[in-house]
Structure formats: C-alpha cells, structure tokens
Chain A
Amino acid sequence: MPDLSELKIDRTIDARGSFCPGPLMELIRAMKEGKVGDVIAVLSTDSGSKKDIPAWAQKAGHEFIGVVQENGYDKIVVKKLK
C-alpha cells in the first residue's frame, strides 16, 4: 500500500452519505472533467465503493492507487491515465 498521506491529491470528491452507485458516478464525472495525471480522491461511506471503484478504474484504463480507512469512511484514490 503506497503512503497516501504524502500523495498530492488534485481533487477530492466528498460522496459521504451518498449510496451506490452515487460515489462511482461522481468519480466518473470528475474523471471526464479532469486532465491526464490528475489524482482524484473519493470519500465514501458506502461499503460497495471500495470494490466498484477499483474495478471501474481497471476497466477504464486508469490507475487505482489505494484505499485508506478514515474515521467512518473510506478514501479511495485513483489517477487519471488517459
């Protein structure tokens, strides 16, 4: 697991309280708007996100960097590769 606390995050999407597929869809929207190389963090309280987001990143050809468990939510970090 990379040290995510040191990583520069370009954009954070606070999707806490939003339910599946909300956090994933918000990430997809942000990826569309972002530029190649952007590191995007999604904050999610939905337990499905840490499974769905890495799976989507793999399919879409982006880099899944990691998940950190914060106090009551997950921080899921993805890098836009194309």
Chain B
Amino acid sequence: MKKQVVILGGGVGGTLVANLLAKKLKANEADIIVIDRTGDHVYQPGFLYVPFGWEEPANLARPEESLLYPRVKLIRDTVAVVDVKSRRVATEKHGEIPYDFLVLATGSHVHPEEVPGLAEASHHFYTAKAAMELRAALEKFKGGRVVVGVAGVPYKCPPAPLEFAFMFDWVLRQKGIRQKTELHYISPLPRVFPIESVATVTAPMLEERGYHIHTFFNVESVDPGKKELVSLEGETIPFDLLVLVPPHKGADVVTRSALAESGGWVPTDRHTLKVEGPDGIYAIGDATNLPISKSGAAAHFEGEIVAGNIVQELRGEKPSHQYNGHVMCFLESGNNRATILNFDYEHPPKPPAPSVLWHMGKLVMNKSYWYMVPKGRLPG
C-alpha cells in the first residue's frame, strides 16, 4: 500500500530529504509532503555578509517550490502539534495530515528575550531583519568599545561570531577607525570555540587583531541604560556597541508535541538519526540534540542517512545507513581569507592556515548552494 512521508520544515535538511526521497522512491511507493510555515527557503549563511553591505537579504531567499522536485507536494502552513499515537500532524489551516514516516526538520531559532536586556541592547545577524539593523548601526559607528560573542549555547554555525569578529576588525581598519575602537570577545565556554583544536588556532587570531578575550562569560543580563553586560561569573563589561549571538531553542512545535528535551532539541540516535521513542520518526539538522555543530553542512551530510533509512524501512528492510558526525564548514578570517573545518564524531578538525583559496571556496558555496544542495546534487 502506498505510504505517506511528511517532512516538517522546508529548510536545508527538509528540502534535501524530500528531494532525495523523490529520487529514490517510485511514485506508487509513497507520497512526499513538505510542510513549511513560510514557503520560502532561506540561505542563512549569507546573513553574515549583510551587516557589512556585501549581501542583500532579497538574494538569500527563494520560493521553496522552485527547489522541490514536482512530485513533492508543498503545504504552506504552520504545524501546531504532532500526535505520535494517531500518526498525524495538526496544521493551522490544512487540518490534520496523517503520516507513515515523519521527518522533523524544523531548525533552531533565536530567542534574545531569554536574557534580560539583550533584545533591547544587543545587535545580531542571525535573521535578515537583525542583520539589516546591525548594518545601520555599523554605518553610524565612529569608534568606541565593542563586545562581540555568544550569549548562549548551543547556537547554530559556531564559527559565525568569530567570522564576524575577524571581518569587523578588518572593516574597521579599512575605514580608518580601528584605533578609535576597543574590541572584546566573550564566550560562555572555557575557550573561544566549542572544539578545542579550533579554539587553539582562533584565540591567537583574535589576539593578533587586538581583541580582549573573556572566557567563561555566561551573559546573565544586559543593562541597556548603563550599557553594561553582566556575567553569571560576576564580571561586568561596559560597551558602546554589542553584537551577541542570542540563545537558541528548537521549534515550538516539537516541545509542544513532547518530542523534545530541555532547550527544545529532539533526542535523536546519533548514528541512525531516528528519534528516540516513537516509531517512524527521524530528525535532521538543527532540530536534533546531536553533539555536533548545528550547521547546514551537518544537515546536508545527514540527508542521505535519513532518506536512505526511510526508504529501507518503507520497503520492510532494516535501516542500515549510519551518520558518522561529518561536518565541513568554512571560517572567514577577514582580509579575503578563510580556513576550513572538516570533522566527524571521531576526528576533530585541524584547520589549515587561512588562505584566499578557502575564502574563494566559501564564496563559491554561497553562490552554488541553490543549484547543488537542495536537490541533492552535491554528494553527501
């Protein structure tokens, strides 16, 4: 009998799984449905360049429909709740939709309101709107004390705040106002990056650029009036401009459906990518609780595993695809240079010296993403 595969979320992971399933399954084996609340597919890595005026949000979104194979049905709606007992998802406008297999690809989302004062006092570049507001603030900035960093873990794209820090220093030098600026970098962790081998390389890069580094700085509150940042550890840093990655959470729908642990992350088997507990549910990308970077790259490498295992289960076979934790991403270091982080569960990254080559690699990825990734043309 024909099965129904329902995919929640039309971002990197959801779109890729839908298209891989469309290629692997015969039309009489399954219907494939993607439900996405916006119907737009957003290339979030491009937000990093928006504050500097090097990219426009309009170039970073395309209609999801244009990225899906025709046999995949797109429903533009918000999923309110998943009922695992009856195997149905309730949508706001399209009623209940039954599934045989469900993929949770609902991503991670920023919550500045989690830290008192953060939303009023801090900029960030994790949404198109916030990135444009930061652009306006940078245009006005003529020097002062700037604090860059992270206000909660986990957060998506762990290199992004460092990349911003490096590029910002470079931009200040181009504008001739670097000497009028004091730069600080804060991290809640014992180091500037979650993975030690990357922190060992990037901390000296921050120091070379004149950043004052504050580790173990867990932002407790921000005083927008006094312009002061207070840590749980008892440190206070005054600022003129604040650029902090806000705390992240999983999508509301997974918490509401009792599918998430604290923080809204879905307990997921790190190898099979099956959600722990209910049958027939897989998770991909930022939505999972996997101990790896929340990144488009991880979602990409997970795509083949989720799609492969669903095809096998649907055909009555034992799912045999195993994710090894592979992630590969670039880290911009300013001055048109970048390095690359390539790692998996067993092998930490060993970033090479920053070069123009890896910067070009990142630019090529930014442009070719639309053709290569969602349709599964880039091997996983």
Using CB atoms and an 8 Å cutoff, list the residues of chain A in contact with chain B: 18-22, 24-25, 28-29, 31-32, 48, 51-52, 55-56, 59-61
Segment touching A, from B44-52, B160-168, B187-195, B311-319? B187-195
Closest Cβ–Cβ distance, residue A43 to chain B (whole Å)? 16
CA distance A48 to B195 in the complex (A): 11
Q: By the criterion CB–CB under 8 Å, are B194 and A59 in contact?
A: no
27 contacts between A and B (CB under 8 A): A19-B291, A20-B194, A20-B196, A21-B153, A21-B188, A21-B194, A22-B291, A24-B189, A25-B153, A28-B188, A28-B218, A28-B232, A31-B232, A32-B232, A51-B190, A52-B189, A52-B190, A55-B190, A55-B216, A56-B190, A56-B233, A59-B216, A60-B232, A60-B233, A60-B234, A61-B233, A61-B234
Interface centre among A19, A21, A48 (most CB of B within 10 A): A21
Within 8 A of A (CB), among B218-235: 218, 232-234
CA distance A64 to B368 in the complex (A): 51
Q: Which label, helix, strand, loop or mixed, suits the secondary structure of the A interface? A: helix
Q: Do A60 and B153 contact each other (CB < 8 Å), given the known contacts A20-B194, A22-B291, A48-B196?
A: no
Closest Cβ–Cβ distance, residue A58 to chain B (whole Å)? 9
Within 8 A of A (CB), among B130-189: 153, 188-189
Find the B residue at minimum CB distance from A61.
B234
Closest Cβ–Cβ distance, residue B235 to chain A (whole Å)? 9
Q: Which residues from chain A contact B189 at a C-beta distance below 8 Å?
A: 21, 24, 52
CA distance A52 to B194 in the complex (A): 12
Q: By the criterion CB–CB under 8 Å, are A59 and B233 in contact?
A: yes
Q: By the criterion CB–CB under 8 Å, are A18 and B232 in contact?
A: no
CA distance A21 to B150 in the complex (A): 14
CA distance A60 to B217 in the complex (A): 9
Would you list the 7 A-B pairs with minimal beta carbon distance, nearest first?
A19-B291, A60-B233, A59-B216, A52-B190, A21-B189, A59-B233, A56-B216
CA distance A32 to B153 in the complex (A): 15
CA distance A61 to B196 in the complex (A): 24
CA distance A67 to B232 in the complex (A): 23
- Other-chain residue from B188, B194, B234, B291 in contact with A18 (beta carbon distance below 8 A): B291
CA distance A40 to B357 in the complex (A): 48
Q: Which residues from chain A contact B234 at a C-beta distance below 8 Å?
A: 60-61
Q: By the criterion CB–CB under 8 Å, are A25 and B188 in contact?
A: yes
Closest Cβ–Cβ distance, residue A19 to chain B (whole Å)? 4
Q: Which residues from chain B contact A28 at a C-beta distance below 8 Å?
A: 188, 218, 232
Closest Cβ–Cβ distance, residue A47 to chain B (whole Å)? 11
Closest Cβ–Cβ distance, residue A44 to chain B (whole Å)? 12
Find the B residue at minimum CB distance from A32.
B232
Find the B residue at minimum CB distance from A52.
B190
Closest Cβ–Cβ distance, residue A23 to chain B (whole Å)? 11
Q: Which residues from chain B contact A52 at a C-beta distance below 8 Å?
A: 189-190
CA distance A18 to B290 in the complex (A): 9
Closest Cβ–Cβ distance, residue A39 to chain B (whole Å)? 19
5 further A-B contacts with Cβ under 8 Å, apart from A20-B196, A28-B218, are A21-B190, A31-B232, A32-B232, A51-B190, A55-B216
Closest Cβ–Cβ distance, residue B272 to chain A (whole Å)? 16
Find the A residue at minimum CB distance from B345.
A19
Q: Which residues from chain B contact A48 at a C-beta distance below 8 Å?
A: 196
Find the A residue at minimum CB distance from B215.
A59
CA distance A19 to B291 in the complex (A): 6
CA distance A37 to B153 in the complex (A): 26
CA distance A60 to B230 in the complex (A): 12
Contact with A along B206-217 (1 / 0, CB 8 A): 000000000010
CA distance A56 to B218 in the complex (A): 10
